[in-house]
Amino acid sequence: MTATLKQLETFVWVAALGSFRRTADKLNTTQPNISVRISGLEASLGVKLFDRDAGSVTLTAAGTSLLEPAQRVLDAADAFAEQAGTAARQSGVIRLGVTEIIVQSWLGRFLKELRALYPETVVELVVDLSAELEKDLTDRALDLALMNGPVPDPAIHSVALGDVPLMWVAAPEIAKTVTGLDAVSRHPVLTFSRKTVPYAELAAYFRDHPAGPVRLVPSNNLAACVQMTVDGLGIAALPRILIKDALAGGRLVPLDVDWCPAPLRFTACYAHTPSRSVVRNAAELAQAIALEDMR
């Protein structure tokens, strides 16, 4: 009796997730089916792969030694499908996480080109803050995340998507009154959510360089933040990629300010294991589109 690819895929996912139930959810099947696949694989190999105790699942010594060879077999099957030209016809699901900046810039083009490459693959989309996407990616609730990175977890691979610079802007009538950071305190500073790097940088800067009692107004919706800035409700340091139309139309004006939060560094992040060629290829596609779009 020999191991099947489905059994090996199940083995690798159980090892990654540490749970039969979560693996069943991931592979769109039932927990009993997962148990049958693992039991069948153990019987065919003649070894015990997992220790099971009160719902927890951990690799045995034999399971640990076989995990990397199992992943290599799956990688080889993926490569075979790519070489044979059948990968595009493979069905499946990619759980994709993205930040709002990507949603409002090049996500549409990315999804269209990905669908052209893999027409039978379904994309399930999650839009959230990078901190939440990182957590979901580490927990394997996401296959791919396009987010601020890289992720420090060595099990997560990061592909550089380029930097997104920020710039201080305001509506024309407000811009006339702002000639430097000393004038910032006269207006609310509209900014990113409290859980983001730009918010932390702004809070730290104004704490260390007092410019009067600065009022930071965080928002978890950048589209609303841009619109509030256009409406003259405050000034903001916003990603250039999101405000180029407002700048071109004169609805926003750059401010003469000598400090700005650091550019946002974006990455396409996915787990090394279990690996899937469609996820790796999607990350490379995101890189090509992002670097072109942000030039």
Q: Indicate which CATH number applies to the domain containing 55.
A: 1.10.10.10
Q: Is the backbone peptide bond immediately before 119 cis, with ω within 30 degrees of 0?
A: no
pLDDT tier for residue 293 given thresholds of 50, 70 and 90: confident
Same domain assignment for residues 71 and 216: no
Q: Which pLDDT score, from 0 to 100, does residue 90 have?
A: 63
Q: Which pLDDT score, from 0 to 100, does residue 295 have?
A: 58
Mean pLDDT of 94-115: 95
End residue of a domain, out of 29, 63, 84: 84
Residue 169's identity, in one-letter code, is V
Q: Which pLDDT score, from 0 to 100, does residue 53 have?
A: 81
Q: Which of 116-125, 171-180, 248-257 has the lowest mean pLDDT?
A: 171-180
Task: Say what percent of the chain tops pLDDT 90.
Answer: 60
What is d(CA 253, CA 169) in angstroms, rounded to the nearest whole number? Answer: 5
Name beta bridge partners: 94: 123
What residues have CB less than 8 Å from 53, skipping those under 6 apart?
none
Domain of residue 221, residue span: 166-262
Q: Which pLDDT score, from 0 to 100, does residue 253 have?
A: 95
Q: Which pLDDT score, from 0 to 100, does residue 99 have?
A: 95
Same domain assignment for residues 220 and 256: yes
Q: Which pLDDT score, from 0 to 100, does residue 206 have?
A: 87
Same domain assignment for residues 77 and 9: yes
CATH code of the domain in which 185 resides: 3.40.190.10
Q: What angle do CA 77, 284, 165 make, to 5 degrees?
A: 160
Same domain assignment for residues 239 and 280: no
Same domain assignment for residues 135 and 61: no
Task: Say what percent of the chain tops pLDDT 70.
Answer: 94
Same domain assignment for residues 69 and 197: no
pLDDT tier for residue 290 given thresholds of 50, 70 and 90: very high
pLDDT reading at 287 higher than 60: yes
pLDDT reading at 87 higher than 60: no
Same domain assignment for residues 40 and 180: no
Number of domains composing the chain: 3
Same domain assignment for residues 42 and 183: no
Same domain assignment for residues 199 and 240: yes
Same domain assignment for residues 184 and 211: yes
Same domain assignment for residues 257 and 172: yes
Q: Which pLDDT score, from 0 to 100, does residue 89 have?
A: 60
Highest mean pLDDT among 26-30, 145-149, 177-181: 145-149
Mean pLDDT of 208-230: 89
Calculate the average pLDDT of the chain.
89
Yes or no: say if 205 and 259 are a contact pair by the CB < 8 Å rule: yes
Same domain assignment for residues 41 and 63: yes
End residue of a domain, out of 84, 110, 142: 84
End residue of a domain, out of 84, 102, 121: 84
CB atoms within 10 A of CB 172: 12
pLDDT reading at 80 higher than 80: no
pLDDT reading at 17 higher than 60: yes
